[in-house]
Amino acid sequence: MHTVWKGAISFGLVHVPVKMFTATEDKDIHFRSLHKDCGMPISYAKTCRHCDKEINPDEIVKGFEYEKGKYVIVKEEELEQIKPESAKTIHILDFVDLTEIDPIYFQKAYYLSPDMAGSGAYQLLLEAIRQTGKIGIAKISIRSKSSLAAIRVVGNCLCLETMFFPDEIRSISQVPNLPEQTAVNEKELTMAAMLVEQLSETFQPDKYTDDYRKALLDLIEQKIAGESVDIVSAPATPEGRSNVIDLMAALQASLEAAKTPPPPAAAPKRKRSASKKNKDNVS
């Protein structure tokens, strides 16, 4: 794993040197833009419309548009001078219950590992969080972006989740067409609750897969292998679904479908010759 940040966690007077690693990875399949005639990748040059020429990196400065067409220039040394303490320290401000935080606040997960001689303090913080059932709320600055963060335990590792600040969360009052009062039919509500219970299971993350990415990889592998590709249109609605307008009928049909055992899993397809590297690094 590549180290994306290096510093320390502080809570009270305790100082825990740590290294930070990205806990998630982008599995999206990325395409390059190519010239249709010759197949070469298209490059994107940075140009100035006023001077009508390409601009070198050392000619570029940062500017904030405070009025239409008017900018204030901010130098790199000025940005360095106002960097917060959290640029090198994850300062835990409070410990709270995880259930008190709405998931809308969470952004991205990172793993934290002990650095140098910080193993003892690292284990102490990890066990303190595990035994109390609390999580730490901290401030951190990563790549010039200041964030709130939640520090919790995942297995035998401290995990940091960057969070939005409250003023970065849009108010639901901006969402159109929300009902002012909840008014539902009691019978429909009872059946809806039954359906929720019928479909409830223990969370098993491995059962959820990106079907579109898999189909796209299969398509790419077929093209790499020079095989013909049969284009099959995706169904407009999931199998078994009908355009039922009556809510009671839809709920009843859903409950009946939920009681029906799923069909046996299909036999796995034969693996193609394309390497796994092609799958994970298509660009």
The pLDDT tens digits for 35-94 are 999 999 998 889 998 898 999 989 999 999 999 989 999 988 888 878 776 578 899 999
**Is residue 226 situated within a structural domain?**
no
CA atoms in the 13 A half-sphere facing the CB of 105: 16
pLDDT category of residue 276 using cuts at 50, 70 and 90: very low
The pLDDT tens digits for 167-177 are 999 999 888 98
**Is residue 253 situated within a structural domain?**
no
The pLDDT tens digits for 235-258 are 555 554 555 468 788 888 888 888
**Is residue 152 situated within a structural domain?**
yes
Q: Has residue 18 got a pLDDT over 80?
A: yes
Closest Cα to residue 31, out of 223, 271, 226? 223
Domain that holds residue 147: 3-26+82-167
**Is residue 71 situated within a structural domain?**
no
Q: What is the average per-residue pLDDT within 208-218?
A: 85
**Is residue 240 situated within a structural domain?**
no
**Is residue 242 situated within a structural domain?**
no
pLDDT given at position 244:
47
Structure tokens at 55: 């601009």
Q: Looking at the 3D structure of the chain, how many domains does it have?
A: 1
Other CB atoms closer than 10 Å to residue 162's CB: what's the count? Answer: 19
Distance CA 235, CA 80 (A): 54
pLDDT given at position 167:
93
Mean pLDDT (the chain, rounded) = 83
Structure tokens at 111: 């793993």
**Domain containing 140 — which CATH number?**
2.40.290.10
**Is residue 245 situated within a structural domain?**
no
What is the per-residue burial (b if ≥16 Cβ within 10 Å, else e) of 110-149? Answer: bbbbbbeebeebbeebbeebeeeebbbbbbbbbeeeebbb
Structure tokens at 119: 């193993």
Q: Has residue 274 got a pLDDT over 60?
A: no
The pLDDT tens digits for 124-138 are 999 999 999 999 999
**Is residue 12 situated within a structural domain?**
yes
pLDDT given at position 271:
46
